Amino acid sequence: MPTLRAPVAAALFVALAAAPQSLSAQPAKPRSPTGAPAARTAPARAGEGIAGSYAGTATVQLGDSTIVVPVNYVFTGTAPAIGGTAMVPGQGTGTISNVQREGARLRFRVTAGEGKLLEHDGTIAASGNIEGFVNLDGLPVAKFRIAPAPRR
């Protein structure tokens, strides 16, 4: 599979790099359909219980414009050796590494084109959905929201 690269992946990286620094560096707190804070998942060790396919979006705010990009993540292996692949459909893939889970908090890295490291910092809801921020060079540049793919 090709690595995440041109032209849309390049545009995504430009968008990520140009994103305003006003995004909060903290992951969004999961909420129930009623708007109340969602129940937290039980504490877990590094990467435990996340293996599988997830699909969703990454959202980048650029001034008055918002770019929403579909994303897919596949986490493989078992703790502590969780890895996987991230994909922007039609643009390529990146390797998932450094997966760390502490309770409901999930952090991982995606290595994209030109060795760019996209650090993900999110929260796992009781539903299994994961929501948080993508950081580039230590700065939040996008929000991501993914949900487990239905089991077949």
DSSP conformation letters of 86-148: EEETTTEEEEEEEEEEETTEEEEEEE-GGG-EEEEEEEEBTTS-EEEEEEETTEEEEEEEEEE
Task: Provide, rounded to the nearest whole percent, the portion of the chain with pLDDT above 90.
Answer: 55
Which neighbouring-strand residues pair with 102? Answer: 105
Task: Using pLDDT thresholds of 50, 70 and 90, give the confidence band for residue 114.
Answer: confident
| Mean residue pLDDT across the chain | 77
Instruction: Report the predicted TM-score, pTM, of the whole model to 2 decimal places.
Output: 0.71
